[in-house]
Amino acid sequence: MRIEAVQGDITRQQVDVIVNAANSSLLGGGGVDGAIHAAAGPGLLEACRALRADRLPAGLAPGRSVATPAFDLPARWVVHTVGPNWHAGERDAPMLAACFLSSLEIAVHLGARSIAFPAVSAGAYGWDVGDVADIALHAVRAWQQGTAADDGGVELVRFVLFSPAALAAFDAQLSRCPG
């Protein structure tokens, strides 16, 4: 499995799955969540409303993930995950790691070969991007070690970062623990 970090727009990624740093309502918001909802078109909001009505009436808990079709995005699926909110006192690193792990598990279940993540919780939720990079990359590496190399699953994990500072944090962490 290849792990890489790039600066760019996650809504333009040519991958099987893009991960949405969603809020628990799944009904859109700002930042990555708003950009993904805008780029995917109204079908994404309808799919999220259906999830809320059927499977998730109380919303999605932090650390959990759920998939929808990607609609107008170049990806096939969107995996929505809710990161912990530092500003709300949610400062549990394992909960943040669970966002990445549960998203990868769903991607495998969908038959995805490639997945693109944002820096979950590093935006409006207030986590330090260096901490997010450390937790995310350790989680992905641990997941990689726990899966068989020839399982036919995810071949590419791409972290798509909006800013040069976020990219630098992920690049620094990648250089500390190369694949």
Q: Is 33 a catalytic residue?
A: yes
Nearest-angstrom CA–CA distance, 151 and 135: 24
Strand order in the sheet with 2-7: 2-7, 156-161, 114-117, 17-22, 77-82, 65-69
Instruction: Give whole-number Cα distances, 1 to 114, 135, 156, 166, in Å.
Output: 9, 18, 6, 22
User: Exposed, middle or buried: residue 174 (CB in 10 Å: 0-12, 13-18, 19+)?
Assistant: middle
Question: What are the angstrom distances between the C-alpha of 44 and each of 29, 30, 34, 98, 150?
Answer: 13, 15, 11, 23, 33
Active-site position among 33, 54, 131, 171: 33
Residues forming the active site: 33
